[in-house]
Amino acid sequence: MVHYSTPDQIKACRAFALECNRQMFEDAQALSRSAFEMLEDGDMDLERFEHYRAMRRKADLKFQEAIEHLRLLNADFPPIPMSVNNAHRLRQQLEDRV
């Protein structure tokens, strides 16, 4: 069975995916900020520095995950063309994938 999504459904899916992606970037940014705040404290010892490095690695991985998610999102949910001709062309492209 072939399922055809309407432009409104595609737009809603894209909006939801973009919101999820925004949250992924915010989470990564929050981790990054927390890690840098550790550096601002004057009491840095080896254990605390290792904790900082672990937080930075986790933040970097989250940023990479968010970037990859955005790349896939743009590949799977391209912006909806405005004209009817473009909509028909997009539908044809989607059908050709199946």
Please, which pLDDT band fits residue 70 given cuts at 50, 70 and 90?
A: very high
Give the Cα separation of 29 and 35 in Å (integer).
10
Q: Is residue 2 part of a domain?
A: no
Q: Is residue 26 part of a domain?
A: yes
Please say whether the beta carbons of 15 and 46 come within 8 A: no
Indicate the number of domains in the chain. Answer: 1
pLDDT over 50 at 1, yes or no: no
**Tens digit of pLDDT for each residue in 23-34?**
999 999 999 999
Q: Is residue 1 part of a domain?
A: no
Q: Is residue 76 part of a domain?
A: yes
Q: Is residue 33 part of a domain?
A: yes
Q: Is residue 73 part of a domain?
A: yes
The per-residue pLDDT for 56 is: 96
- Top pLDDT among 40 and 25 is at 25
Phi, psi of 25 (to 5 degrees): -65, -40
Q: Is residue 38 part of a domain?
A: yes
Please say whether the beta carbons of 39 and 52 come within 8 A: yes
Q: Is residue 40 part of a domain?
A: yes
